[in-house]
């Protein structure tokens, strides 16, 4: 009897540990993005998946080409979030569809993830992808004359850091970047000991040597910093501080608050399934119109 009880307790403990593991590795937006992508319309664009922009396994992007007949369609380069430790381009086909149907070509990229890869590896990947897109315009049947960088959460940090970095990148398309759209981005925070993302940064490196806030330079790019009204993950001060710093340097910046969305639901609300009920996509479209006019 005693052995049976012990065996039962051991099995229960194993199940508890398995449940904890699954919980740590499962995000609510995994299911949400899966459902969104399954229900996303497939008309108005074509998609070329797993385009290699570099030599490593995570150096891949999905390219959504709009069916719009307009010449030199603007190119949106989208970078997903996930605390630099999680996420995959396959979960964001609803982003490709949402903007391809509006006449944009959209590249959704993968990048290397923490904890195996830490800052600045994921910015290196974005730089590599941008240079590849610039060099491969004819092959990919795209135009890189009007580029918009867009990122959500950690992805917003990445797109800002591609320009504002302690060691600036040699971006061949730098003068073609018309706008940067950051959705609920962390641009100015101390990551030391942070329970969500400490493993994505060298804990011995002060955040003042990493955050894009400290490396802003004057340029002609238009910046649109979106905050989610109900965000309980990334503080609004990240965007307001960054907005102030950009303006201090003489840059164009707009701070835009989206009502009724949280940190994760902000990106889901861009989907064609929900965009009519939330202001997120409409505000992004206004920003795009403003940037490209």
| DSSP class per residue in 202-234 | -TTS-GGGT-GGGG----S-EEEEEEETT-SSS
Model pLDDT, residue 71: 74
Q: Rounded to whole angstroms, how far apart are CA atoms 239 and 229?
A: 12
- Give residue 244's domain range: 28-292
28-86 pLDDT, tens digit each: 455 456 556 666 667 789 999 999 999 999 999 999 999 987 778 999 999 999 999 99
Contact between residue 34 and residue 93 where contact means Cβ atoms under 8 Å apart: no
Residue 8 domain flag: no
What are the backbone dihedrals phi and psi of residue 94, each rounded to the nearest 5 degrees, phi first? -65, -25
Model pLDDT, residue 48: 97
- Domain containing 139 — which CATH number? 3.40.50.1820
Q: Would the pTM count as exceeding 0.75?
A: yes
Contact between residue 55 and residue 109 where contact means Cβ atoms under 8 Å apart: no
Model pLDDT, residue 242: 98
Strands of the 147-152 sheet, one edge to the other: 45-52, 60-66, 105-109, 75-79, 147-152, 177-183, 222-228, 252-258
Residue 284 domain flag: yes
Residue 132 domain flag: yes
151 pairs with which residues across the strands?
79, 182
229-240 pLDDT, tens digit each: 999 999 999 999
Q: Rounded to whole angstroms, how far apart are CA atoms 82 and 172?
A: 27
Residue 1 domain flag: no
Name residues whose C-beta falls within 8 Å of residue 94's C-beta, 6 or more positions apart in sequence: 33, 36, 37, 40, 268, 270, 271, 272, 273
Residue 9 domain flag: no
SS3 269: coil
Q: Rounded to whole angstroms, how far apart are CA atoms 269 and 266?
A: 5
Q: Rounded to whole angstroms, how far apart are CA atoms 97 and 112?
A: 24
Angle at 98 between CA 90 and CA 234, to 5 degrees: 70
- The per-residue b/e assignment along 228-252, b for 16 or more CB within 10 angstroms, e otherwise, is beebeebeeebbbbbbebbeeeebe
Residue 269 domain flag: yes
- Positions in the chain short of pLDDT 70: 1-6, 8-41
Report the number of distinct structural domains present in the chain. 1
Number of helical H runs and strand E runs in the chain: 9, 8
Model pLDDT, residue 249: 98
What are 212's two structure tokens? 């894009």
What are 81's two structure tokens? 């979030």
């Amino acid at each position: 009897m005693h052995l049976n009880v012990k065996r039962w307790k051991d099995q229960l403990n194993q199940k508890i540990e398995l449940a904890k593991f699954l919980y740590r590795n499962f995000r609510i937006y995994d299911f949400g993005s899966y459902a969104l992508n399954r229900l996303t319309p497939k008309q108005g664009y074509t998609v070329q998946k797993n385009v290699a922009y570099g030599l490593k396994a995570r150096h891949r992007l999905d390219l959504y080409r709009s069916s719009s007949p307009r010449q030199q369609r603007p190119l949106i380069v989208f970078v997903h979030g996930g605390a630099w430790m999680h996420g995959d381009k396959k979960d964001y086909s609803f982003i490709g569809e949402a903007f391809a149907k509006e006449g944009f070509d959209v590249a959704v990229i993968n990048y290397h993830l923490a904890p195996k890869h830490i800052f600045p590896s994921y910015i290196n990947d974005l730089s590599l992808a941008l240079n590849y897109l610039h060099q491969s315009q004819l092959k990919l049947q795209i135009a890189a004359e009007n580029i918009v960088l867009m990122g959500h959460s950690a992805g917003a940090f990445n797109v800002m850091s591609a320009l504002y970095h302690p060691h600036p990148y040699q971006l061949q398309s730098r003068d073609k970047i018309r706008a940067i759209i950051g959705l609920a981005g962390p641009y100015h925070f101390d990551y030391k000991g942070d329970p969500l993302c400490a493993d994505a940064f060298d804990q011995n490196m002060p955040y003042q040597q990493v955050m894009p806030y400290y490396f802003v330079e004057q340029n002609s790019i238009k910046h649109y910093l979106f905050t989610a009204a109900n965000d309980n993950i990334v503080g609004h001060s990240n965007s307001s501080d960054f907005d102030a710093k950009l303006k201090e340097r003489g840059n164009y910046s707009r701070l835009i608050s989206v009502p009724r969305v949280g940190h994760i639901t902000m990106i889901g609300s861009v989907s064609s399934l929900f965009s009519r009920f939330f202001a997120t996509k409409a505000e992004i479209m206004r920003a795009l119109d403003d940037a490209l006019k």
